[in-house]
Structure 1
Amino acid sequence: MKFMDVVASQPWALEGSRAQEYKAILEGEGDVSPQALEAYRARASARGERMGVRDGVAILNVEGPLFKKANLFVEFCGATSYEILRRDLQAALDDPSITAILLNVDSPGGEANGCDELAAAIYDARGKKPITAYVSGMAASGGYWIASAADRVVISELAVLGSIGVVLGVEDRSSADERRGVRKVEIVSSQSPGKRPDVNTEEGRTQIQTMVDDLAEVFVSAVAKHRGVSSEDVISKFGAGGVKVGAKAVASGMADEVGQFEAVLASLSPSGSGRFSNRSKGTFVMTDQNTGPTAEEIAAKATADTQARIKAIVSSDLGKTMPTLANHLAFDTTITSEVAVKILETAKADMPEKKPETGGEQSQSKTYEQQKAEAGALGLAQPQGTNASAPNVDPFAKAVANHNRKFA
């Protein structure tokens, strides 16, 4: 039996476009020279072992297509073996110097066989050491099956999650064999009528469909268990075989938050925040690793500092004088209150001085009385804005009064 026949007969938990890509590679499409393979191996070898350790955190890379056992894909093409990951997971759990485990996931999925065992091992390890899955790129199908088993799932903004389901490709060679004059005859034991279902018959297709549905039911149930939701929620909210991106995946419950790899690594390391939000068999618990501030305390302090900064800017004397600029500096920038006040002082210095305004109706009336006294005559019109009615003014009398005042 050819290698491709073995591959085609296996059920796969693999995103569709990647399945076609890997099929083309296996069938020899494209010129793959020994030099090209060696160049790829040189890049791959730079990544070292599957498990790395940084600051007490074990990093398990779940990358590329997934296979149960190590093979040429794992050796040369950056694929991942479930069995290698399982051994690395156990090594991380047994090492007392390792305080947490980070699954670094970027995979379209892969072989269904073995995926359930690795995911179950990750889930069973909850509570022993904090386990976080970080997804950058893709956690589709089998890749998401594994990621969902962690205590916490953090994803990048462009991460693609989902493709929950199973695909089984059945290749019908009957027409090709007929053209070549090949007639294949199989004798199946009488006790095993379901051993060779014929995809060309309704009964055979139904039998194959039942098997694929049963495999998918195991997948869906596992994800529901890992995420602490019902199977119905997984089917209706987790993409129904499709995928969701970034924040939408978080909103649907497929992941816990959007973040970055280094920040997640720092949160898990003993020298980082040292406090982890873990899901222990479906329930979130908190685990203290040092006496540093908790995430809630850090958030509360940040909120208090922000409120104090805004108040210092908008409540300052210059802030009350120039509220538009003060509000912009307080709410639309992140500069400190000291720098904001300096900007307000500079803006104040460049503003032209305003002439003092009159003090309302009483001041206007007082000025008017002063004008009458200085003129030495009655009859000047009252300034606008007063409630008193303006008397009729004789223009000739007004001119005489002004003349007398000028030469008095």
Structure 2
Amino acid sequence: MNHHLLIAEFLATPWALMPERLNAVAAVLARWSQDIPAGEDVLTGIAVDRSMREARRQAATAVSSGGIAVLPLYGVVTQRGNMVDDVSGPGSVSTQQFASALRQALADDSVSQILIDIDSPGGSVYGVSELADEIASARAQKPVVAIANSLAASAAYWIGCSASEFYVTPGGEVGSIGVWQAHFDYSQAFVTKGIQPTLISAGKYKVEGNPYVPLDEEAQGFMQSRVDDYYATFTKAVARGRGVPIAQVCEGMGQGRVLGGDAAQAQGMIDGVATFDHVVRKMRRDAKSVARPRASRLAYAQRVIEIL
């Protein structure tokens, strides 16, 4: 039953992730904990998905020209490392590694704009608030544009809405604004198997919420308070990023659901519906329109100097 404990601990972490996407991760954890090797079909699927992700990252990076740095944000969001890269599907992205890439782009004088290319169902709440704050601060240095291409859900939406502008592809989705965690009660299953766990602990709440006993009211209340705290931080960040009252975030914007482009734009969650190429072209046009007045000012200053 060790795998049950592992999965329970994993799911008890507060998540800003589409719940259905976590099922695949939980299944892999169960396999790991039981030392069950992945089948050939699973391994083949993982290899194909990994190759596709790498090709997509390379293609996105190749667009980085004309002063635009494209930063891919693909897969399940985690704080450190790539803990679920052997899950067949989107893989994972580290908030710490992404923040490092963001800082490099800000420090690079050849980069005038940053485009965050997002395709993610969200992930752990850990590290997300810090990254969103960095992106919000980066807007004061260089334009930061984000695009859901094709999914920016939960933690990924939290990150994307911190950009200067936020778009979604015509067939894409954004939203899933919310936080959740789970408690698994295995007490009856243990009784059936004749297992009686005994927990030895120190500290009043050290084993609170453990999966060997039903969740009591006090423990559930504390778990709810953790979720509420992260949700408050999440909605505050969305309100800041989208320039709307917090009430509009909580009472609208899908209320935890993902929305298509038109519905999301109607609720103020994005700035428009556009393909990746269209957003890149818009950014290049914007850069030229900014460069022309600056060039004119420089030319005028040069003429003044010549006259003097």
Say whether the 8 Å CA contact 1:51–1:58 is kept in structure 2. no
Deviations 1:189-248 (A, max 9, x none): 35x347614653222222211221121111111111111111111011211112221122
The secondary structure found in structure 2 opposite 1:274 is helix
Q: Measured at CA, do residues 221 and 194 of structure 1 come closer, stay the same or move farther in structure 2, by a change above 3 Å?
A: farther
Listed as ranges, the matches of 1:102-121 within 5 Å are 102-121=115-134
Describe how 1:256-271 pairs up with structure 2 within 5 A: 256-269=271-284
How far apart are residue 84 of structure 1 and its match?
1.4
For residues 94-129 of structure 1, give each alpha carbon's deviation from its aligned partner in whole angstroms, at most 9, with x where no partner exists. 111111000111111011111111111101111201
Give 1:186's aligned residue. Answer: 199
1:237 corresponds in structure 2 to 252
The answer to whether structure 1 residue 64 and structure 2 residue 75 are counterparts is: yes
* Secondary structure at the counterpart of residue 73 of structure 2: strand
Q: What aligned pairs does 1:143-154 form with structure 2 within 5 A after superposition? A: 143-154=156-167
CA–CA separation in structure 1 for the residues paired with 2:69 and 2:266: 28
How far the C-alpha of 1:51 sits from its partner, in A, is 7.5
For 2:291, give the aligned amino acid: Q
Question: Which residue in 1 is equivalent to 2:25?
Answer: 22
Is the Cα–Cα contact under 8 Å of residues 187 and 214 in structure 2 kept in the other structure? Answer: no
Cα distance in 2 between the residues matched to 1:274 and 1:45: 29
Mapped partners of 1:234, 1:48: distance in 2: 32
Letter in 2 for 1:290: R
Change (3 A) 1:75 1:117: farther
Pair 263,36 (structure 1): closer, same or farther in 2 beyond 3 Å? closer
Instruction: State whether structure 2 residue 100 is matched by structure 1 residue 87.
Output: yes
Q: Does structure 2 conserve the Cα–Cα contact (< 8 Å) formed by 1:161 and 1:245? A: yes
Equivalent in 34, 38, 57 of residue 47 of structure 2: 38
| Local SS of the residue matching 1:92 | helix
Q: How does 1:245-394 map to 2 (within 5 A)?
A: 245-269=260-284, 272-274=285-287, 288-291=290-293
Distance 1:44 1:105, change over 3 A: closer
In 2, are the aligned partners of 1:69 and 1:81 still within 8 Å (CA)? yes
Counterpart Cα distance in 2 of 1:23 and 1:251 = 35
CA distance in 1, matches of 2:86, 2:27: 18
- Equivalent residue letter for 1:88: A
| Residue equivalent to 1:393 | none
Structure number having the greater helix percentage = 2
TM-score by length of 2: 0.81
Question: Which deviations, in whole Å up to 9, do the C-alpha atoms of 1:131-177 show, x marking residues without a partner?
Answer: 00111221111110000000011122232111111010112222222
- Name which of structure 1's ranges 120-129 and 44-53 shifts more when overlaid on structure 2: 44-53
* 2:119 aligned counterpart, secondary structure: strand
Instruction: Give the match's secondary structure for 1:18.
Output: helix
Q: Unaligned stretches of 5+ in structure 1?
A: 277-287, 293-408
Q: What amino acid sits opposite 2:244 in the alignment?
A: V
Tell me: CA distance 1:128–1:157, structure 2 relative to 1, closer, same or farther (3 Å).
same
Question: In percent, how many aligned pairs have the same letter?
Answer: 29
Quote the residue 1:4 is aligned against.
Answer: 7
- Helix, strand or coil: the match of 1:223? helix
Native 8 Å contact 2:78 2:123 kept in 1: yes
When residues 252 and 41 of structure 1 are mapped into structure 2, their CA distance, relative to the original with a 3 A threshold, is closer
Secondary structure at the counterpart of residue 104 of structure 2: helix
Partner of 1:289: helix, strand, or coil?
A: helix
**Runs of at least 5 residues in structure 2 that lack an aligned partner in the other structure:** 295-308
- State the structure with bigger RCO (CA 8 A, min sep 6), 1 or 2: 2
Task: Tell which structure's C-alpha radius of gyration is larger.
Answer: 1
Give the match for residue 304 of structure 2: none
Maintained 8 Å contact 1:102/1:133: yes
CA shift for structure 1 position 72? 4.5
Contact 2:183/2:215 (<8 A) preserved? no
1:25 CA drift (Å): 3.5
Q: Distance in 2 between matches of 1:56 and 1:117?
A: 26
Partner of 2:138: 125
SS in 2 for 1:240: helix
Contact 1:108 1:139 in 2 (8 A): yes
Distance 2:25 2:192 in 1: 28
4+ aligned runs moved over 4 Å, structure 1: 32-36, 48-51
Which secondary structure state, in structure 2, belongs to the residue aligned with residue 139 of structure 1?
A: strand
Q: Determine the C-alpha separation between the residues in 2 that align with 1:266 and 1:186.
A: 61
Corresponding letter in the other structure for 1:214: D
Q: Distance in 2 between matches of 1:21 and 1:262?
A: 31
Conserved? CA contact 1:50–1:61, under 8 Å: no
1:196 counterpart = 2:213: no
